[in-house]
């Protein structure tokens, strides 16, 4: 019986050591997460995500017209050459 009791005591000690190690790892992770959040990192686990930007139809139209004007200008330059 004493062998079993000794084994149980040893297992409890190992469990306590493992729990302490897990707690230390958790603290280390927490510190590193605080450091990365402060540096402006995005997209990592635990950091808040930005809201998706929405472009209005009028904004898309302005961008489209501006790009078409750029293409037209390039075509004119190519024709002149």
Break the chain into its structural domains and give their ranges.
2-80
Higher pLDDT, 44 or 64: 64
Higher pLDDT, 23 or 49: 23
Instruction: Classify 43 in phi/psi space as left (phi over 0), alpha (psi -120 to 50) or beta.
Output: left
Whole-number average pLDDT of the chain: 87
Residues 30, 45: Cα–Cα separation, whole Å = 12
Q: Which residue has the tokens 């590193």?
A: 32
End-to-end, the C-alpha distance of the chain in Å comes to 99
pLDDT exceeds cutoff 70 at 48: no
Three-state DSSP at 44 gives coil
The predicted model gives 45-65 an average pLDDT of 85
pLDDT digits (tens, 9 = 90+) for 2-36: 899 999 999 999 999 999 999 999 999 998 888 88
Phi, psi of 39 (to 5 degrees): -85, 0
């Amino acid at each position: 019986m004493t062998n079993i009791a000794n084994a149980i005591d040893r297992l409890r000690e190992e469990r306590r050591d493992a729990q302490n190690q897990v707690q230390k790892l958790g603290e280390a992770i927490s510190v590193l997460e605080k450091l990365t959040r402060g540096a402006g990192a995005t997209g990592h686990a635990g950091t808040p995500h930005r809201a998706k930007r929405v472009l209005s139809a009028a904004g898309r139209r302005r961008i489209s017209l501006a790009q078409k004007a750029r293409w037209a200008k390039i075509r004119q330059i190519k024709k002149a050459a």
